[in-house]
Structure 1
Amino acid sequence: MAKFTAEFLGTLILVLFGCGAAVLGGDQVGQLGIALSFGFAIVALAYGLGPISGGHVNPAVSLGMFLAGRMSGREMLIYWVAQFAGALVGAAILAGIAGGTESLGQNGWGPGYGGEYALGAAAGFEVVMTALFVGVILGSTGPGAAAGFAGLAIGLTLAAIHIVGIHVTGVSVNPARSFGPAVLVGGEALSQLWLFIVAPAVGAVIGALPFRFHLLDTAKPPVDDRTDTTVRGAA
């Protein structure tokens, strides 16, 4: 229950802060401000909720963790329910503040959205960026990673992804983040939601596979055969 609650509240906060920056302050803070809002939110959640649930707040991240062998399938499903529910409630709170559901920071592509990028560009962006994002998360939280710096690495990566891609899709890399606003806005946002579920899932698989097959494991220090002890400081 503690993990469910943490993932629910964490995803709620991510949607409220990130999408809220776009809806309530986008004209003032611009693309960089929106990107930093998403990134700062993740940094805060990583340190605040990480000790409880890992601070996934993203079904694609939970899928990557499952594929990398770091959580069970049952636990992943519980996380998914919490994340989608949290995103929906976060979007509902934002709608109440904004006074309507015309725009809630929903993702999209094509004519009339952002830079009007085509479906192929939108799909490619979401797959590649989710793969990179999941890879950073798995690498920065795995054995041998620098202790205490994972939250910063993850948050800065998400901010950088938003700086690059806000005009492409609004940046999802997170099916729950897309789900909450799309369900309440409806219309074209809801009809395009499938991409922001499928593409991040594909990206999560790509990002997790190198860790699943131990292709990116931290190299072990060499061993001195004469004493059978680890050689400290060896090249």
Structure 2
Amino acid sequence: MTQKCMAEFFGTFVLVFMGTGAAVLAGTHVGFLGIAFSFGLSVVTMAYAIGHISGCHLNPAITISMLATGKIPSKDAVGYIIAQIAGAIVGSALLWLIASGKADYTLAANGLGQDGVESGSPDGYSLMSGLVAEIAFTAVFLLVIHGATSKNNGNTAFAGLAIGLALTMIHIVGIPVTGVSVNPARSIGPAVFVGGAALSHLWVFIVGPIIGGLIGGGIWKFVDKQS
């Protein structure tokens, strides 16, 4: 269990550090498309690095969906979620340390790649739009995850690639709406340091992905009767 939690901590650290790092440190160079691929590639690389240890959830919404579908015991789920949130916070802390080395960087003006709605949304989408988007995006994401890792799927060796590409796809569409969470830990990490609206609207990026994850898992159980 210790090894699994360490894997989840490190994997989530990489996801948050590299994904939000692309937005904060390289956003003006790579744009939304580059940021989307940074998140997706983080998942792909970690899936093959630690997937055999913990399953590479890196995301409380995934862990809760796996718990609800009977794929992980509750004692593991609690440890995973704690490790994921801790990894996200450490990833954001390191990103802040590096970003602060640029003379014109300020936390208030530049942030840490936090998610947001209304004034915090990249394109000014409403709270309701953001919540619905997070539910829908996470449902799609979890449907892919359950399907790609299903015992009925003969191509599970490519599961990490499929899941990473799914996250990339979701970011390409969703970054203008909320910045894209589909992962409570990913949103908690930056919000802890940025505060303000990022913290007050954090519930959207906890509740939305959890609901979406449960919906995605439910859809998969319905369509894959042998799972």
The two structures have a TM-score, normalised by structure 1, of 0.90
SS at 1:148 equivalent: helix
Aligned to 2:84: 83
- For 2:31 and 2:194, the matched residues in 1 are separated by 22
**Native 8 Å contact 2:120 2:198 kept in 1:** no
SS at 1:149 equivalent: helix
Q: How many aligned residue pairs are there?
A: 218
Give CA-to-partner distance per residue, 1:105-157, whole Å, 9 cap, x none: 00001135311001111011000010110110011001122131100100000
Quote the offset at 1:35 in angstroms.
0.2
**Native 8 Å contact 1:182 1:190 kept in 2:** yes
Aligned to 1:222: none
Aligned to 2:107: 101
- For 2:11 and 2:173, the matched residues in 1 are separated by 24
Give CA-to-partner distance per residue, 1:66-108, whole Å, 9 cap, x none: 1111001111111000000000000000000001533100000
Mark the runs of 5 or more structure 2 residues left unpaired by the alignment: 101-105
Give CA-to-partner distance per residue, 1:143-174, whole Å, 9 cap, x none: 12213110010000000000001010000000
- For 1:15 and 1:180, the matched residues in 2 are separated by 8
Aligned to 1:226: none
Aligned to 2:196: 187
Aligned to 1:134: 142
**Native 8 Å contact 2:21 2:113 kept in 1:** yes
Letter in 1 for 2:187: S
Quote the offset at 1:218 in angstroms.
5.3
Identity %, equivalent residues: 50
Distance 1:140 1:112, change over 3 A: closer
**Native 8 Å contact 2:120 2:197 kept in 1:** no
Aligned to 1:117: 125
**Native 8 Å contact 1:68 1:211 kept in 2:** no
**Native 8 Å contact 1:66 1:72 kept in 2:** yes
Distance 1:217 1:92, change over 3 A: same
Quote the offset at 1:30 in angstroms.
0.3
Distance 1:215 1:15, change over 3 A: same
Quote the offset at 1:53 in angstroms.
0.2
Give CA-to-partner distance per residue, 1:21-76, whole Å, 9 cap, x none: 00000000001000000000000011111000000000000011111110011111
Letter in 2 for 1:120: M
166, 169, 173: which one aligns with 1:160: 169
Return the index of the structure with the highest Cα Rg: 1
Aligned to 2:103: none
State the Cα RMSD in Å. Answer: 1.3
Aligned to 1:72: 73
Letter in 1 for 2:197: E
Aligned to 1:9: 10
Quote the offset at 1:188 in angstroms.
1.0
- For 2:90 and 2:49, the matched residues in 1 are separated by 20
Which structure's residues are more often helix, by fraction?
2
Mark the runs of 5 or more structure 1 residues left unpaired by the alignment: 220-235
Aligned to 1:215: 223
Moved >6 Å (runs of 4+)? none
SS at 1:70 equivalent: coil
136, 146, 152: which one aligns with 1:144: 152
SS at 1:143 equivalent: coil
The two structures have a TM-score, normalised by structure 2, of 0.93
Farther off after superposition, 110-119 or 57-66: 110-119
